[in-house]
A and B are shown apart, each in its own frame.
Chain A
Amino acid sequence: MAASVCRVGSTVGRALAKTHRPILLSLRRGQASVSYAQSLLGAPETRLTTLDNGLRVASEETGHATCTVGLWISAGSRYESEKNNGAGFFLEHMAFKGTKKHPQTALEQQVESMGAHLSAYTSREHTAYYMKTLTKDLPKAVELLSEVVQSCSLNEAEIEQQRSVVLRELEEVESNLQEVCLDLLHSTAFQGTALGHSVLGPSSSARNLTRQDLVDYVNSHYKAPRMVLAAAGGVSHDELVGLAKSHFSGVSFEYEGDAVPVLSPCRFTGSEIRMRDDALPLAHIAIAVEGASAASPDIVPLMVANAIIGSYDLTYGGGKHLSSRLARLAVEDNLCHSFQAFHSSYSDTGLLGIYFVADKNNIDDMMHWSQNAWMNLCTTVTESDVARGRNALKASLVGQLNGTTPICDDIGRHILNYGRRIPLAEWDARIDAVTPKMVRDICSKYIYDKCPAVAAVGPVEQLPDYNRMRSAMYWLRF
């Protein structure tokens, strides 16, 4: 019985192996089926309307019974000064602690009785407050969000209580070494500028920020032209615009004293910072060069380049067959526990880098091969690498839009970064335009012979001297 089963299995296997094109293609001939290109063209459009006060309303109708709606604001730690660094994060703590119309308990009861979820996040350039709910509850959701953003009560007693919560969160984040490493990377790469600030702020801020600081922060940054009301799900754009008009028309678009905050440019400084602690089990290291700004067309080839390097961790299958050379070496020579190539982009600058977690005796080798991967991109990347990178990037862009919340987040951030939502069909066209020569040229422009910023946390004795890492940013070629 078992033997016959195996034989049958092997017949099938051999049949599949012999055919040049997969056998299933013959099954589909004559079937009406939607192709990839058609599915891109038929994707729902994101509609964008601007209110009189400059507030933008954008939504995508996906046909779900649920939706995510939220406010995305151009405010974050980049807009903070040394004195009020951490105000945005503290404000996020206070956001759901009561508004003028709904004290905290009433606000929570409203949200819970709808079965909704209310959340927020603060990053360096964006702040978001959003709610996940049933589409039929959209009006109530927009009303509650408008209260949270415009009339948060900022109760003094609550502020005092939140100080200890913020301090506890600061303590907890110290044990998340990935966050620590990437924060240190920003603080050294953008030293002396606003992008060097951490989003959480220093502990002195948690202790000393006053209600007035938070009020000033809201008054200087929560202005209509810098806000986007975004929604995704089974929502009707016209209904959303109507709700926006009734709840958000009052958001101001003028600054006190006509003092419009201008973002000062954040210079990149090639430098390094090491937080050596031999008691930690693993070293967390990030190396980055200055990358492209959010709206730069170079973003697309750089993302393809990152997809070629890819990422890896111990749970990956594939082992020594993985396509990315760095991943293969990580498996074969036990170079690291995990690595990822990343690109963080801001409005006028960015960080293009590789982050890895390694044992203390493999740091030198891992750094060598990471920089080798970069040199490879600048000099010898091939057509098959780029084809794989293009496909991986397309798949990850589609895969990220998984659910109404990521779509809504995508809409909010795109409108703030680009003034419009970039449709998948356009991403696809831009990605298809990337050639190996383009990858080599653009990577050379950003990586070759540039001073990197390096941040290292843990048992980092083996990390090479900065001058040696700087020398590995070019090859001796004549």
Chain B
Amino acid sequence: MKGIRGISQLSKRFYAAARKDQSLAQPLAGLSLSPRVGHSYQDVHVTRLPSGLVIASLENYSPASKIGVFIKAGCRYETPENQGVTHLLRLASGLTTKGASAFKICRGIEAVGGSLSVTSSRENMTYTVNCLRDDVDTVMEYLINVTTAPEFRPWEVSDLTPKVKVDKAQAAQSAQIGVVEGLHEAAYKNALCNSLYCPDHMINNIHSEHLHQFVQNNFTSARMALVGLGVDHTVLKQVGEQFLNIRSGAGTTGAKAQYRGGEIRLPSASSLVHSAVVSQSAAAGTSEALAFSVLQHLLGAGPHIKRGAGVASKLVQGVSKATADPFDVTAFNTSYSDSGLFGVYTISQAAAAGDVIKAALAQVKAVADGGVTAADLTRAKAQLKCHYLMSLETSEGLLEAMGSQALTDASYQSTEEISKKIDNISLTDVANAAKTFVSGKKTMASSGNLVKTPFVDEI
């Protein structure tokens, strides 16, 4: 009825009128924001404590703080008896510790709008907390509890088994994860062949004792770095000296990774074939590794323009002559503390897989034979520098860069130093890197409908 509708409209209009002056299009009354005093630019501070713990921090005056504990405890340090333990550790960050119950950790962090997360790679495990600047004390307490005094109560650990299965099910939906894990399994005899995910046969066989033992052996001061963004260096140092000295020493030394070169084929019903062909490259931090990074961008490391034709990517241009069907190809490059892998990663229709892979490899061979111009090299270096600088824009990228550098050599290289090193890479360095790939023993991993996909000895 018209009358009743009029009344409800009236009340809405009245309510709206009372708050109209607070519309977001008008600055909030009573809030004075001037004058803006800019903060001075700060450098990254790095200190190494006598116990071996490395502290790194940057005061960036952001309203949010981010603190990470980086530990050399990736899946490469797993043994056959505890394979899969790092997967469970990733899921176990919310479990009861000696200083705080699981309930307290979860509620305490949520109450301040913070977060606690764990990521792990083959080399490192990283525990990260985020919070607003004033709440650093609260979340730091939980971070220290989780990394130094976990209890791993057996019933809480066994509750994690369904989560392990969920993780594996989600990973199984990604062909890329399957290929990369398979690639490492086929490429190495030990250490780096361990998967990030718990193997099927170990799912019910990782217990509380395994987690305790892995933490005792690997979470030691000499293998840890405490890194912070938006925190005082002196505060972090005090935290490191007082609370992160629980386990001293270097822990168990990891085995040196032995490359063997092999093949793994993962047939599936998918009409898209994902395939990676690599050979051993160089350890991280060496100038050869930098040459491989430049080579990666030279060949093509991913799209730069949305829906672009990839005109600057040698791989894309080479493969587009071999097939008219949709495809994708990039250079694959990863390096670890004592080894690395470099090659090509292709995604193609099942029938064209062989042609695509061979065309991609031919492009790398062309670089090895000297088919690179100075302009190509300049462009590749520009792309590598941009890629690195853009990764430092985000807090995650910056923390990761500071943390991994702190762990490997207890220092932080400025972007200028890194730019200079990139500039010093010459055409011969890049050609040599390509030659290393062409002549090296190959490892191959493929997934999809593999009827037309060649074997590693056929490419």
Contact = CB atoms under 8 A, between A and B. Distances in A.
Given A116-B386, A296-B23, A424 B63 contact: yes
A112 B383 contact: yes
Given A5-B216, A402-B394, A423-B33, A105 B24 contact: no
A16 to B, nearest CB: 4
Contacts of A139: none
B106 A64 contact: no
Interface in A137-169: 165
A247 interface: no
B5 interface: no
A33 B232 contact: yes
Contact of A12 (B130, B246, B310, B383): B246
A41 interface: yes
B243 A12 contact: yes
B7 interface: no
Residue among B116, B247, B384, B389 facing the most chain A CB atoms (10 A cut-off): B389
B112 to A, nearest CB: 5
Contacts of A405: 393
A9 B133 CA distance: 27
Contacts of A36: 63, 132-134
Contact of B385 (A8, A31, A115, A399): A115
Interface stretch (B185-193, B278-286, B300-308): B300-308
A118 B305 contact: yes
A323 B110 contact: yes
Contact of A16 (B25, B61, B144, B384): B144
Given A318-B106, A399-B130, A96 B306 contact: yes
A470 B424 CA distance: 69
Given A28-B235, A42-B39, A114 B394 contact: no
Interface string B91-122: 10110011110110111001111111000000
Given A17-B100, A28-B235, A134-B386, A391 B394 contact: no
B39 A34 contact: yes
A399 to B, nearest CB: 6
A262 interface: no
A108 B24 contact: no
Interface in A43-89: 43-45, 63-66
B148 A22 contact: no
A41 B385 contact: no
Given A44-B38, A391-B112, A420 B63 contact: no
B97 A118 contact: no
A242 B339 CA distance: 50
A391 B305 contact: no
Interface stretch (A174-182, A192-200, A425-433): A425-433
B350 interface: no
Interface residues of B, number: 97
Which of B25, B138, B159, B216 is the most central at the interface, judged by chain A CB atoms within 10 Å of its CB? B25
Contacts of A419: 25
A259 interface: no
Given A116-B386, A398-B62, A25 B137 contact: yes
Contacts of B102: 319, 321
A395 interface: yes
A54 B23 CA distance: 23
B140 A296 contact: no
Contacts of B148: 9, 12
Contacts of A475: none
A16 B99 contact: yes
A344 B112 CA distance: 25
A445 interface: yes
B324 interface: no
A112 B298 CA distance: 11
Interface in A396-418: 396, 398-399, 402-405, 417-418
Given A96-B308, A118-B304, A395 B93 contact: no
Contact of A108 (B28, B132, B312): B312
B305 A96 contact: yes
A117 B304 contact: yes
Nearest to A8: B246
A165 B22 CA distance: 46
Contact of A42 (B36, B309, B312, B415): B36
Contacts of B153: none
A41 B393 contact: no
A325 to B, nearest CB: 12
B246 A96 contact: no
A111 interface: yes
Interface residues of A, number: 96
Nearest to A162: B307
A220 B23 CA distance: 29
A108 B235 contact: no
Interface in A199-258: none
A391 B111 contact: yes
B329 to A, nearest CB: 16
Given A63-B41, A322-B106, A296 B24 contact: yes
B145 interface: yes
A26 to B, nearest CB: 10
Contacts of B247: 5
Given A117-B304, A133-B386, A13 B98 contact: yes
A452 B113 CA distance: 30
A163 B306 CA distance: 16
Contacts of A317: 91, 93-94, 106, 116
A163 to B, nearest CB: 14
B113 A395 contact: yes
Given A314-B166, A419-B25, A31 B243 contact: no
Contacts of B212: 2
B390 interface: yes
Contacts of B36: 41-45
A113 interface: yes
Contacts of A20: none
Contact of B106 (A44, A323, A403): A323
B66 to A, nearest CB: 9
Contact of A31 (B105, B131, B159, B234): B234
B113 A392 contact: yes
Contacts of B163: 314
Interface string A376-407: 00000000100110111111101100111100
Given A165-B307, A419-B25, A13 B103 contact: no
A279 interface: no
Nearest to A423: B33
Contacts of A35: 133-134
A4 B254 CA distance: 24
11 contacts: A12-B98, A13-B99, A15-B99, A35-B133, A44-B38, A109-B312, A119-B306, A295-B25, A317-B116, A391-B112, A423-B33
5 closest Cβ contacts across the A-B interface? A13-B98, A391-B113, A115-B386, A112-B312, A13-B99
Given A132-B390, A392-B113, A425-B31, 4 more contacts: A115-B386, A317-B106, A420-B27, A424-B63
Interface of A: 2, 5, 8-10, 12-17, 21-25, 27-28, 31, 33-36, 39-45, 63-66, 93, 96, 104-105, 108-109, 111-120, 132-134, 165, 294-299, 314-315, 317-319, 321-323, 384, 387-388, 390-396, 398-399, 402-405, 417-420, 422-426, 429-430, 445
